[in-house]
Amino acid sequence: MTGNLHDLTEVVDAALEKVAANLITFADVYPHDHTIDNSYRPRERVDDYPEGSNVGWTTGFWPGMLWLAYELTGSPEYRQAGLTHVERFRQRLADGVNIDHHDMGFLYTLTCVAPWRLIGDTTARSTALQAAEQLMTRYLEVPGILQAWGNIDDVRQRGRVIVDTLMNLPLLYWASLESSDARYHQAAYRNACRLRDHLVRPDASTYHTFYFDPVTGTPLYGRTEQGAADESCWARGQAWAIYGFALSYAYTCDVTFRDTACRVADYFLDHLPGDGVAYWDLIYTDSSGEERDSSAAAIAVCGLLELSGRLPDRTLSMHYSAEARRIFDSLYQHYSTAGLPTSNALLLQGVYNKPGGAGVDEGNLWGDYFYLEALARLAKTNWQPYW
Ligand code: GLY
């Protein structure tokens, strides 16, 4: 399906039709993390924050889609909408709204680094640098990690990293390049090394989360939150690892990250069902009756394409690129909402958190963002990552 330009144009048009409609629905409110009955509504009210507020870890994906749409169309409408989110994210940081976690990278890379890279917006640049500084408050020097969740003194969360952190590290690498302050790069690099050495198992599967002793730095044990079991392999986590290690390689040129990205990619690809779209945990197969996670597939496509572009071995590079296209084709043909007017998502059949009972067999914002990023990568030969 994505083999020729004509078909790809149709794929892009179908995706952009949804983004254009959502531009009106979500002009002043943020969508919820995931769809309910396959449709996004404004974010649910939480604590003192009214419906549609800019809280949580996912609100940056919608502005990220706007910047991708701007690149794919050149339309000033998307640029203008993207810039309104720069101001909202600047305000969120200034007000300290829900920023005590590791997800500053997800939030501020797509909302602020992207417009700085694309149109040189200086408010976006300074906000992204402040977000990097905020992320550094999570850095524990002795274990060399960014604590993912919870108050930094929370005994249940102290010393805990998660695989998703890999996607938050590019904000730090970028901040060092922008500011010439090596602290950010050093923290990101050490964190990536710790994840490479302990969160990736010998068979190249990954733990979702891993604990280090915060005082001695000793590696302790892995635990899951969103996977099927502590020793299973949560599909989205493995996809974050493919993309995250490929990006750490891009910023550091440390070939051990590239090799790790290849190993985790091979594990992911070896555990896919026939149609190339992973079940939400890689222990499951076609007879399991379990749900797919289309978002894991979309993230993996982007990670495989990033990795493919950075491999000196042409055969291996073409292998990952072909696998990425195979997965993308399956997403478009069997999981996308192209031609389905009843959904305002781009992808169906994602899983946010099966053990927690959230967003199971629904679309989700990050699945949609990475599906559109994959399209940008495939449609624009010189597309440059925001990460
Ligand atoms: N970063 C949270 C998740 O992937 O669900």
Res. 160: pLDDT tops 90: yes
Q: What is the pTM of this model?
A: 0.97
Task: Report the atom number in ligand 1 closest to the C-alpha of 226.
Answer: 5
Residue nearest to atom 5 of ligand 1 (CA): 352
Residue to probe by mutation, ligand 1, list 32, 33, 34, 57, most atoms within 8 Å of CB: 57
Instruction: Please name the amino acid found at residue 58.
Output: T
Q: Which two tokens stand for residue 99?
A: 């920023």
Q: What is the pLDDT of residues 174-226, one digit of tens each?
A: 999 999 999 999 999 999 999 999 999 999 999 999 999 999 999 999 999 99
Gap between the Cα atoms of 50 and 60, Å rounded: 18
Q: Please tell me if the CB atom of residue 293 comes closer than 6 angstroms to any atom of ligand 1.
A: no
Residue ranges covered by each domain of the chain: 5-379
pLDDT band at residue 7 using 50, 70 and 90 as cut-offs: confident
* Strand 139-140, strand 358-362: pairing: unpaired
Gap between the Cα atoms of 202 and 377, Å rounded: 31
Task: Report the atom number in ligand 1 closest to the C-alpha of 240.
Answer: 4
Gap between the Cα atoms of 6 and 27, Å rounded: 31
Q: What is the pLDDT of residues 134-158, one digit of tens each?
A: 999 999 999 999 999 999 999 999 9
Tell me, what DSSP letter sits at residue 166?
G
Residue nearest to atom 1 of ligand 1 (CA): 164
Q: What is the pLDDT of residues 165-188, one digit of tens each?
A: 999 999 999 999 999 999 999 999
Nearest to 40 by CA among 14, 57, 59, 64: 59
Q: Please tell me if the CB atom of residue 164 comes closer than 6 angstroms to any atom of ligand 1.
A: yes
CATH architecture of structural domain 5-379: Alpha/alpha barrel (1.50)
* Strand 209-212, strand 145-146: pairing: unpaired
pLDDT band at residue 1 using 50, 70 and 90 as cut-offs: very low
pLDDT band at residue 381 using 50, 70 and 90 as cut-offs: confident
CA of 370 to the centre of ligand 1 (A): 13
Task: Report the atom number in ligand 1 closest to the C-alpha of 353.
Answer: 5
Contact 195, 163 (CB under 8 A): yes
Report residue 14 CA to chain centroid gap.
22
CA of 289 to the centre of ligand 1 (A): 23
Active site residues: 103, 164
Q: Please tell me if the CB atom of residue 236 comes closer than 6 angstroms to any atom of ligand 1.
A: yes
